[in-house]
């Protein structure tokens, strides 16, 4: 092992990239399916779960890891069928029946055979949409007990004649953004199947999240691949620059706060088309174009030329993983270097190369970077304070006979980072959502920042 480690450390950057590429191709060619283990009650935590559990113990705001989604439903809703659909989803996914416990310094997750669940209808007198959203925000910001569970809540509100709102809140330790889409699709399919008296239309899951967590903990048999990726991140994060320090309206305190808000900027169809044309000309994706524009904006605000920005990835490397509810998401810290002399297209190509290399090493958990690469930090914010999230898997459109279903935009009023820019496609447009820490920034500042980003977009597309 030590001899192999020394040989990897002696590789040049070019040799390391080539060997990593060859190793990735080998891994994809011989990828082994995740086995379902026989013991179905107690599992280790995945790396991402372990970090969330650790942070949950120390952060003052226990709701910062709440994930919420809401549906507006109009029509003849069968509440009994909806409740039955929820029970089926809970039965299918063990992670929704999971709680977390510590014993002798070790944390583990246990699965209950059943979770008592009933869908209660609550009347809500909402004078307007603003009142409704305020109530939903309030209910989304209620803390979970990781030891007692359940780690999800479902509420159904009646807001008028044949008008309902369904609110789902889940703790991030048992789900991620992708999971919410899985959950909504299954809920819709099961409801429709029950409505049509169909049975058994959803195929059984090949394994559960606990199997994945166990596999992830035990899959380091391919030590060469693991050490190659560790060495890549060690070099990438060597002499880590200071965290990006945006000018704030209020001074930063020693205690990290998570009070958040959001502001939306919509890029219309013709602007998106122009950005897509740039991406085509440079042989990159729209993600790279938007991420480059965000980097330029941050440089204009800070004059920092060496920056690290976090990007989340789904980390679902097999078709089977795509069908599971659970916390799979990984975070990649992307380091870029820019300055006054760097053109937009030159920076675009640099970022494309950096992101490509990071994706080649995406299996190395961010939690391992922090723990094993001498990044002794208690929060992601000490490595980076800014996130960019390109959400190319938005919530699915749900079509159920007799019902009109729309997604409502709600949050739990928190922000894990100083600033996160979410880029969400939809109907030919792009919504750029600025999620920001209210204890650092006033809304007017974020609105001005969004206008500056729009000016950058207009400048680039008009060249």
**DSSP per position, 436-451:** EETTT--HHHHHHHHH
pLDDT at residue 223 tops 70: no
CA angle 381-417-147, nearest 5°?
Answer: 85
pLDDT at residue 6 tops 60: no
Q: How many helices (H) and strands (E) are present in the chain, helices listed first?
A: 13, 14
Q: What is the pLDDT of residue 456?
A: 97
Would you tell me how many other CB atoms lie within 10 Å of the CB of residue 331?
A: 22
Query: Pick the residue with more confidence: 287 or 126?
Result: 287
Span 46-97, pLDDT tens digits: 999 999 999 898 888 889 999 999 999 999 999 999 999 999 999 999 999 9
Q: Where are the alpha helices (DSSP H) in 318-442?
A: 344-360, 366-372
Residue 8 φ/ψ, nearest 5 degrees: -70, -40
Q: Where are the alpha helices (DSSP H) in 257-401?
A: 269-281, 286-302, 344-360, 366-372
Query: Pick the residue with more confidence: 12 or 106?
Result: 106
Nearest residue to 332 via CA among 305, 359, 298 = 359
Nearest residue to 333 via CA among 372, 391, 257, 386 = 386
Say whether 457 sits in a helix, a strand or coil: helix
Kindly indicate the confidence band of residue 29, based on its pLDDT and cuts at 50, 70 and 90. very low
pTM of the model: 0.90
DSSP line for 149-216: ---EEEEEEEEETTEEEEEEEEEGGG--HHHHHHHHHHHHHHHHHHHTT--S-SPPPSS-HHHHHHHH
161, with CB counted inside 10 A (0-12, 13-18, 19+), is: exposed
Nearest residue to 437 via CA among 297, 257, 302 = 257
How big is the chain by its Cα radius of gyration, in Å?
23
342, with CB counted inside 10 A (0-12, 13-18, 19+), is: middle
Span 156-180, pLDDT tens digits: 999 999 999 999 999 999 999 999 9
Q: What is the pLDDT of residue 219?
A: 74
Contact 367/331 with Cβ under 8 angstroms?
A: no
Q: What is the pLDDT of residue 250?
A: 95
What dihedral angle (degrees, nearest 10) is formed by the CA atoms of 225, 219, 238, 303?
A: 110
Q: Tell me the average pLDDT of the chain.
A: 87
Residue 310 gets the label, from left (phi > 0), alpha (psi -120 to 50) or beta, of beta
Task: Tell me what percent of the residues of the chain surpass a pLDDT of 90.
Answer: 59
Contact 137/155 with Cβ under 8 angstroms?
A: no
Q: What is the pLDDT of residue 30?
A: 42
pLDDT at residue 25 tops 70: no
Q: Which of 135-149, 214-228, 402-416 has the lowest mean pLDDT?
A: 214-228
Q: What is the pLDDT of residue 142?
A: 93
What is the C-alpha end-to-end distance of the chain, expressed in Å? Answer: 54
Q: What is the pLDDT of residue 99?
A: 97
Element (H, E) at 388: strand 386-390
Query: Pick the residue with more confidence: 193 or 150?
Result: 150
Task: Tell me what percent of the residues of the chain surpass a pLDDT of 70.
Answer: 89
Measured CA to CA, the distance from residue 345 to residue 282 in angstroms comes to 8
pLDDT at residue 378 tops 50: no
Q: What is the pLDDT of residue 463?
A: 81
Measured CA to CA, the distance from residue 288 to residue 425 in angstroms comes to 14
Q: What is the pLDDT of residue 221?
A: 52
Whether omega before 150 lies within 30 degrees of 0, making that bond cis, reads yes
Q: How far is CA 196 from CA 77, 191, 405, in A?
A: 14, 9, 19
pLDDT at residue 32 tops 70: no
Contact 223/376 with Cβ under 8 angstroms?
A: no
Residue 400, both tokens:
């159920």
Strand order in the sheet with 42-44: 42-44, 106-111, 98-103
Would you tell me how many other CB atoms lie within 10 Å of the CB of residue 416?
A: 22
Nearest residue to 459 via CA among 346, 343, 353 = 343
């Amino acid at each position: 092992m030590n001899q192999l480690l020394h040989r990897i450390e002696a590789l040049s950057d070019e040799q390391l990239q080539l060997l990593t590429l060859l190793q990735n191709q080998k891994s994809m060619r011989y990828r082994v399916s995740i086995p379902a283990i026989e013991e179905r009650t107690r599992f280790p935590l995945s790396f991402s779960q372990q970090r969330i559990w650790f942070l949950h113990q120390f952060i003052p705001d226990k709701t910062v890891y709440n994930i919420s989604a809401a549906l507006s439903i109009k029509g003849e809703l069968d509440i009994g069928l909806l409740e039955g659909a929820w029970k089926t989803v809970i039965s299918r996914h063990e992670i929704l029946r999971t709680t977390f416990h510590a014993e002798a310094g070790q944390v583990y997750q246990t699965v209950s055979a059943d979770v008592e669940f009933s869908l209660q209808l609550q009347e809500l007198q909402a004078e307007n949409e603003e009142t409704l959203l305020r109530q939903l925000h309030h209910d989304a910001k209620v803390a979970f007990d990781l030891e007692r569970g359940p780690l999800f809540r479902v509420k159904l509100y009646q807001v008028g004649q044949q008008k309902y709102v369904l609110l789902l809140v889940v703790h991030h330790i048992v789900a991620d953004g992708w999971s919410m889409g899985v959950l909504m699709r299954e809920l819709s399919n099961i409801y429709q199947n029950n409505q049509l008296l169909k049975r058994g239309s959803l195929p059984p899951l090949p394994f559960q999240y606990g199997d994945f967590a166990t596999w992830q903990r035990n899959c380091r048999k391919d030590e060469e691949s693991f050490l190659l990726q560790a060495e890549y991140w060690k070099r990438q994060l060597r002499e880590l620059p200071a965290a990006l320090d945006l000018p704030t309206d209020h001074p930063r305190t020693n205690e990290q706060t998570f009070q958040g808000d959001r502001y939306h900027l919509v890029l219309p169809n013709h602007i998106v088309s122009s950005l897509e044309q740039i991406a085509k000309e440079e042989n990159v994706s729209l993600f790279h174009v938007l991420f480059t524009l965000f980097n330029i904006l941050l440089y204009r605000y800070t004059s920092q030329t060496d920056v690290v920005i976090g990007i989340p990835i789904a980390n679902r490397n097999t078709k089977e993983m795509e069908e599971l509810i659970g916390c799979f998401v990984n975070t990649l810290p992307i380091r870029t270097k820019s300055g006054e002399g760097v053109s937009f297209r030159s920076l675009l190509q640099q970022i494309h190369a950096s992101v490509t290399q990071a994706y080649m090493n995406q299996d190395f958990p961010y939690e391992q970077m922090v723990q094993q690469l001498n990044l002794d930090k208690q929060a992601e914010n000490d490595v980076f304070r800014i996130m960019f999230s390109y959400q190319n898997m938005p919530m699915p459109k749900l079509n159920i006979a007799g019902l009109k279903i729309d997604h409502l935009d709600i949050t739990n009023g928190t922000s894990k980072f100083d600033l996160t820019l979410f880029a969400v496609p939809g109907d030919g447009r792009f919504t750029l959502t600025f999620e920001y820490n209210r204890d650092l920034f006033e809304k007017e500042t974020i609105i001005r920042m969004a206008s500056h980003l729009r000016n950058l977009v207009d400048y680039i597309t008009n060249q």
